[in-house]
Structure 1
Amino acid sequence: MKDVLIIGGGPIGIACALECKKRNWNYLIIEKGALTNSLFNYPKNMTFFSTSEKLEIDDIPFISKNPKPNRDEALEYYRRVATSNNININLFETVTTISKEHNYFKVSTDKHEYETKKIILATGFYDIPNLLNIPGEDLPKVTHYYKEAHPYAMQDIVVVGASNSSVDAALEIYRKGGNVTMIIRGEAIGERVKYWVRPDIINRIKEGSINAYFNSEITEIKTKELTFKSPEGLKTIPNDFVIALTGYKPNFDLLNQIGIALSNDDKKLPEYDKDTMETNIQGVYLAGVICGGMETHKWFIENSRIHAKQIAKHIESTLAV
């Protein structure tokens, strides 16, 4: 019987594990991918918005050679935190079912079954993309993730979206020799785009180096072209690859399976106590980005790392009873 089972091995899951370790609880992290799987799947050249001290967990120093750390530095930091503290974690193991049995929970994965007194869900939101739901989206040329620019050199590329990830992809691919077109549902580049990058993309669009269609949506993707709806009507352009960076969403199926209440609007906000992070299901806690439901821009490592201490404090009071 585990005291605490943590689902998700990202930075916040690791922070929760460190709090469990301090209290000598019998805990385990279950992570369906690699350690900090979401960070691992970020673009190779990604730079964080925050400085390194805001990404630290448990007051363990994060030393970066850059004013703002990049993906590789973050992977190295969280890996060293996990390994030097010998956290208990099972990687590449996927939770399939969770059920409550009297005063404990049964958790089944694709490899094992567990019993635990408490569950912390720190599953993030990066694993399930928001689909366009249009003909041709299942073609091999379409991806909802961006890793690096090299494969797109000398190709006709459409980048969908105007967020940080879309802008970074468009600029990198343009500078590696790709012919980039951005198709953007809104009327402008997103206001939350990193302040040192936003002027760059706006200027590249103004000078015509990157094509951009605002207030537009793709209607169909074909092997060598795509069609989109614009204020000027339907347009068809040559196309080799589509990078649809339209955002991601939490695993709501898992939340529903446990019985966690969600708001009835498009935000799908999960119900939890903001002081203890406990959900409407006693003994189940939320930590990190998953707290925001579809509002995935509200929680980051910087402002959710405190969740670990909040949860541990409450669990400590209940386990002592």
Structure 2
Amino acid sequence: MEILDILIIGGGPIGLNCALEAKKNNLTYLIIEKGTIVNSLYHYPLYMRFFSTAEKLEIDGIPFISTAPKPGRQEALEYYQGITRHREVNINLYEKVLKVSKTEDVFDIKTSKSAYQAKNVVISTGFYDIPNLMNIPGESLSKVKHYYTEPYPYAKQKVVVVGSSNSAVDAALETYRKGADVTMIIRHAEISKSVKYWVKPDIENRVAEGSIKAHFNAEIVEIKENSVIFKDENGQINEIDNDFVLALTGYLPDFDFLRNSGIELQGDCLNPLYHPETMETNVPDLYLAGVVCGGKDTHLWFIENSRVHAEMIVGNILLREPRA
């Protein structure tokens, strides 16, 4: 079995950037991705626009040409998948990594389809795979959606949107404009300050005029087939008619996978232990890249500020194993 210089887990933008950096430095590498190329972006809402401008999403100095100031999901898919094709990136798709273990100086990587060995492993799996559950009765009902794609299925429906982040606000506005009767249940006292600056006034004005109902300092306590029960800011229990619940309460990294790989997780937010200058974890030669570095603090890292991880990781590997 060939022993790779680097095996990269996750074919998102940062995983691709790590691959391009490895290729540029003549390191043997392979990406293992459980879905399609940039799988998380593929599952974003169809009409989502990035907070970052196009140049902040570029990898390996390859220009990202966008027709709008803020590129959307489809443009990003074209950009990253186009790079993968034209740069002939070594990537295995629809293959899930099951276990990473280390024997002496070599990692053994078992997947759903095969097994590999590598001197170094980079985990760049993001955080979009596991919904942050509310853990309340009725959350498993089919009408409860933890992912939002487009507004059309919710026309003329009574929709409850849980949360006040970008995804929740986008869902509330889009479904409202397609004829849904929208109620937002928000645990905090206001719309999140992190909401895109050009969207925040829109949602605040729709709430102020009553077009979208919003209950602040509130939380759902139970979901039923035809209704939702929630506790308002005064502690009173309310029940409202309901057809669909969009529980957009955020997502989490696969902490079990990180633990099973030997990575230490620290504090209430389960922040993985790594060296900030090299991205190497407490397991020698095992690295983290991208948003997975933030633990439950998923707002800390995004494409724009984690593109540098690829150069940091490969640079550290080259220092230990210089090449001509």
Q: TM-score range by the shorter chain?
A: over 0.9
Q: Which residue of 2 aligns with 1:108?
A: 110
Q: Which residue of 1 aligns with 2:248?
A: 245
Q: Which residue of 1 aligns with 2:262?
A: 259
Q: Which residue of 2 aligns with 1:34?
A: 36
What amino acid does structure 1 have at the position aligned with 2:125? T
Cα distance in 2 for partners of 1:320, 1:56 equals 28
Identify which of 295, 298, 319 aligns with 1:296.
298
Q: How does 1:39-188 map to 2 (within 5 A)?
A: 39-188=41-190
Cα distance in 1 for partners of 2:50, 2:101 equals 37
Structure 1 range deviating more: 223-232 or 158-167? 223-232
CA drift at 1:25: 1.6
**1:109-156 deviation per Cα after TM superposition (whole angstroms, max 9, x unaligned):** 110011111000000000001000000000000011000000000000
What amino acid does structure 2 have at the position aligned with 1:132? M
**1:257-315 deviation per Cα after TM superposition (whole angstroms, max 9, x unaligned):** 1111111x221111111111111100100100011111100101000000000001001
- Aligned pair 1:316/2:318, yes or no? yes
Task: Say which SS state the counterpart of residue 219 (structure 1) adopts.
Answer: strand
Task: Say which SS state the counterpart of residue 201 (structure 1) adopts.
Answer: helix
Cα distance in 1 for partners of 2:87, 2:39 equals 19
Structure 1 range deviating more: 151-160 or 229-238? 229-238
Q: Which residue of 1 aligns with 2:225?
A: 223
- Aligned pair 1:306/2:308, yes or no? yes
Cα distance in 2 for partners of 1:167, 1:97 equals 37
Q: Which residue of 2 aligns with 1:285?
A: 287
Superposition TM-score, scaled by structure 1 size: 0.98
Cα distance in 2 for partners of 1:280, 1:135 equals 39
Cα distance in 2 for partners of 1:229, 1:222 equals 15
What amino acid does structure 2 have at the position aligned with 1:119? V
What amino acid does structure 2 have at the position aligned with 1:59? G
What amino acid does structure 2 have at the position aligned with 1:296? T
**1:14-59 deviation per Cα after TM superposition (whole angstroms, max 9, x unaligned):** 0000011112221100001111011001000001111100000011
Task: Say which SS state the counterpart of residue 123 (structure 1) adopts.
Answer: coil
What amino acid does structure 2 have at the position aligned with 1:179? D
Task: Say which SS state the counterpart of residue 302 (structure 1) adopts.
Answer: helix
Sequence identity of aligned pairs in percent? 58
Identify which of 11, 14, 27 aligns with 1:12.
14
What amino acid does structure 1 have at the position aligned with 2:260? Q
What amino acid does structure 2 have at the position aligned with 1:23? N
What amino acid does structure 1 have at the position aligned with 2:185? I
Q: Which residue of 2 aligns with 1:194?
A: 196
Task: Say which SS state the counterpart of residue 225 (structure 2) adopts.
Answer: coil
- Aligned pair 1:234/2:258, yes or no? no
Cα distance in 2 for partners of 1:277, 1:31 equals 20
Cα distance in 1 for partners of 2:291, 2:264 equals 16
CA drift at 1:320: 2.9
Task: Say which SS state the counterpart of residue 215 (structure 1) adopts.
Answer: coil
What amino acid does structure 2 have at the position aligned with 1:239? N
Cα distance in 2 for partners of 1:231, 1:189 equals 15
What runs of 5+ residues in structure 1 fail to find an aligned partner? none
**1:228-283 deviation per Cα after TM superposition (whole angstroms, max 9, x unaligned):** 011240000000000000001111111101111111x2211111111111111001
What amino acid does structure 2 have at the position aligned with 1:53? E
Cα distance in 2 for partners of 1:43, 1:65 equals 19
What amino acid does structure 2 have at the position aligned with 1:237? I
Count of aligned residue pairs for this structure pair = 320
What amino acid does structure 1 have at the position aligned with 2:251? Y
Q: Which runs of 4+ in 1 moved over 4 A?
A: none
